[in-house]
Amino acid sequence: MEIVILDSTERIASAAADAVEQVLRTHETPVLGLATGSSPLPVYREIVRRHTEDGLSLAHARAFLLDEYVGLPHGHPESYREVIRRELTGLVDIPAASVQGPDGGADDVAAAGRRYDEAIHAAGGVDLQLLGIGSDGHIAFNEPGSSLASRTRLKTLTEQTRQDNARFFDHVDDVPYHVLTQGLGTIMEARHLVLVATGEGKAEAVAAMVEGPVSQVCPASVTQMHPHVSVLLDEAAASRLRLADYYRHTYAHKPAWQGL
Ligand SMILES: N[C@@H]1[C@@H](O)[C@H](O)[C@@H](COP(=O)(O)O)O[C@@H]1O
């Protein structure tokens, strides 16, 4: 796990966008895993900027979303499908048909989950998966207690997550109770995980993920078992890491050609 502590959201966005750009430029059919939430938004803005100003193309890319609410009407502005279209995929040249998300509106949600895992597999797997982290240590919508081997399936949100996400809705009562989310086992099959976390509110979850035991209590801690993880943090999100100085030292002495 590589821990990168940077002094601004812009530098974090730029480092993550560099990794995405590298995949886009080196793969014939790059497969990106996209996360929602506010943490990846500066990364998406930077990708859109590079597309608009530098001609970075996503025309041959495919994209898979991490998760989706269950029960929101099709086209609801806060459905993750709509959020990602607004913030990224609708602003670049990726064909709409190349963007997939879990079908939270399916009659048989369990079958939709299985189909989604099959679709990711059929696309050759995810080359680079962007991730945020919930304040309770969830990734995608794998709440504490999630099986570390789980596949895409229905989950029930914790009250903390519903409260955290209430800011996107008129009222907390409007936040769905259920979601269809990639499982931890699904996410762990992506070839490179790039997790972005900023702000003091994430410090505890980040410390548990990076330096705590691998445990269902902090689902993000499963990433300790992944061979290629980059964790991009600002100072506030890194503030509870015991080995922060060592992570800074390692990054400062990293060979320039290595990338994330
Ligand atoms: N399902 C998403 C996660 O993928 C995201 O990581 C988390 C944190 O969001 P934010 O970055 O807004 O704090 O929110 C939601 O729960």
Ligand 1 mean position to 255 CA, how many Å?
32
pLDDT of residue 57: 98
Q: 209 CB under 6 A from ligand 1?
A: no
Max CA separation in the chain (angstroms): 53
CA 218 to chain centre: 16
Across the chain, which has 260 residues, the per-10-residue mean pLDDT values are 97 98 97 97 98 98 98 94 98 98 96 98 98 96 98 96 94 97 98 98 98 98 98 98 97 87
pLDDT of residue 225: 98
Q: 66 CB under 6 A from ligand 1?
A: yes
Complex-level ipTM beyond the 0.90 threshold = yes
What is the rounded CA–CA span in Å between residue 33 and residue 15? Answer: 16
Q: 39 CB under 6 A from ligand 1?
A: yes
pLDDT of residue 116: 98
pLDDT of residue 214: 98
Pocket residue to mutate for ligand 1, from 160, 165, 182, most atoms within 8 A of Cβ: 165
pLDDT of residue 258: 84
Domain range list for the chain: 2-253
Classify strands 128-131 and 192-197 as parallel, antiparallel or unpaired.
parallel
Q: pTM of the prediction?
A: 0.97
pLDDT of residue 70: 97
Looking at domain 2-253, its CATH architecture is 3-Layer(aba) Sandwich (3.40)
